[in-house]
Amino acid sequence: MAHDLIPPDVRARLKGLVLVSRCATGGHGLGLHASRSRGAGLEFAQYRAYERGDELRQIDWKLYARSDKFFVREAERESPLALWILVDGSASMAQRLGATKALAACLAELAIAGGDRFGMMALSEDGLALVPPGTGARQRDRLLLALHAFDAVGGFPAEATLAPLWERIGQRDLVVMLSDWFDPAVTAAATKLAAAGREVLAIQLLTPEERDFPFDGGHRFRDPETGEELLADAPALRAGYLQRFGEARSALHAELEAAGVRHVDYVLDQPLDAPLKALFG
C-alpha cells in the first residue's frame, strides 16, 4: 500500500532525509524523547509468533528446531524520537487529501528509517481516527490502512473533541501537522500544543489555484465547509483576493513563529518531498 501513496522517485529521495527535532540538535526544546520500544535491540524482551513482514534475522532458529514453529525475538531499545502525524480532515482538505496522505506516508517512512515510534491522529468533525504509536513495518501498515479509509468531511473538530491530543501526545514528542490552515481552530490547536512543551511543525498545503487565482470569466465559488457561495467575475476579484490571501499567509506565519512552531508552505504543483526537505534536509 505504501507504493500507492509514495512515487518511486520521491521514495528514493527520502533516503537523504532524517527526522531530527530541535531538541536533538541542541536548539530550543526539551531534549530527546526517550522511550522503550520493541525492536532488534540488545536487551532481550520477549518472544512472539512470526508475522508476515518480520525480518528473517529476528527468527529464533533454535526455538524453531524444538517447536517446529517460527518465533521472533523482540528486544527493548531506546527510541530517540516519538513522532505524531496530525492530519486535518475538514472538508476544505478534500482538494489536497491525496497529497496529505502521501506526506503522512512519507513521514512514516522517515520514522521507520530512524527506528522511531510514530502514530497518527486524523482530525475531523466526526472525531479523531487514532493510530497509537508503534514502530516498524506492521505499524506502517496500520497507518496506511487508516489513511486509505480516511476522508475529508465537515469542519475541524470542536475543542472538546481534541482532548486526546493533550492526553496522548507526550511532552517531548515531535508533532507534524498537515493542514491548509484556513481554520483558526487549527492554529489554536498547534499553538496550544507548542505552549504545552510539544515541538510542533506545520506544513500548509495549498493548491496552485489558491496561490495564483488563474480563473477567467464568471465563476461560482463555494466554501466546502459552510456551503456559502459567491457568484462573481473572476478577473475583477483577482487583485483583491491575492492581496488578502498574501496578508492572511503572512499573519499565519507570524502567529506560528511567535508560538515557536516551525512551518513550511507546500503547493501541490511542487515535488511531494519539498516540505520534508525544508524541515529535515
* pLDDT number for residue 58: 73
Position 71, amino acid: F
**Of 266, 269, 281, which Cα lies nearest the Cα of 103?**
266
Q: Which residues pair with 43 in a beta bridge?
A: 76
What is the rounded radius of gyration, in angstroms, for the C-alpha atoms of the chain?
21
pLDDT of residue 111: 94
Q: Would you kindly state where each structural domain of the chain is located, as residue ranges?
A: 2-30+80-280, 36-78
d(CA 262, CA 273): 17
Q: Give the pLDDT of residue 80.
A: 57
Give the three cell numbers for residue 52. Answer: 508476515
d(CA 107, CA 72) in angstroms, rounded, equals 27
The pLDDT value recorded for residue 63 is 79
Residue 105 confidence (pLDDT): 97
In contact, 78 and 35? CB cutoff 8 Å: yes
DSSP character for 160? G
**CA 87 → CA 84, 90, 124, 150, distances in Å?**
10, 9, 9, 10
Question: Residue 117: what pLDDT?
Answer: 92
pLDDT score, position 37: 45
**What is residue 22's predicted lDDT score, i.e. its pLDDT?**
64
CA–CA separation, 131 and 90 (whole Å): 18
At the topology level, CATH places domain 2-30+80-280 in: Rossmann fold (3.40.50)
pLDDT at residue 21, rounded to an integer? 72
Q: Which three cell numbers stand for residue 1?
A: 500500500
For residue 215 the three cell numbers come to 480563473
pLDDT tens per residue, the chain (281 residues)? Answer: 545 899 999 999 999 899 877 654 444 333 333 344 444 444 454 666 776 656 677 788 887 788 888 877 755 444 557 899 999 999 999 999 999 999 999 999 999 998 899 999 999 988 889 999 998 899 999 999 999 999 999 999 998 899 989 889 988 899 999 999 999 999 999 999 999 989 999 999 999 999 999 999 988 888 888 888 988 899 999 999 999 999 999 999 999 999 999 999 999 999 999 999 999 98
